[in-house]
Amino acid sequence: MTTIVLICYGLTALTALGFGLTYLLTPTFMPYHAQAIGSDWATLEPELQVVILALIRVAGGGLSATAIAVLSILFGPFRQGQRWAYRVVPVLCLAVVLPTLSAVWTVQQQTPASPPLLIVLLNLVLILIAVGLSLRLGRLGGRTLR
* Model pLDDT for residues 12-31, shown as the tens digit of each residue: 999 999 999 999 999 999 99
For helices 83-110 and 2-25, give the axis angle rounded to 10 degrees: 50
In contact, 120 and 127? CB cutoff 8 Å: no
Q: Report the range of poorest mean pLDDT among 37-41, 42-46, 82-86.
A: 82-86
Q: Taking residues 67-88, report their average pLDDT.
A: 95
Tell me: pLDDT of 145 over 70: no
Per residue in 88-116, pLDDT tens?
999 999 999 999 999 999 999 999 999 99
Q: Taking residues 132-144, report their average pLDDT.
A: 75
- How far, in Å, are 1, 11, 54, 127, 130 from residue 18 at the CA level? 26, 10, 18, 17, 20
Q: Pseudo-torsion of CA 27, 101, 75, 84, nearest 10°?
A: 140
**What confidence score (pLDDT) does residue 109 get?**
97
- Rg of the chain, C-alpha, whole Å: 18
Q: Taking residues 77-96, report their average pLDDT.
A: 95
Q: Taking residues 57-73, report their average pLDDT.
A: 98
pLDDT exceeding 70 applies to what percent of the chain? 96
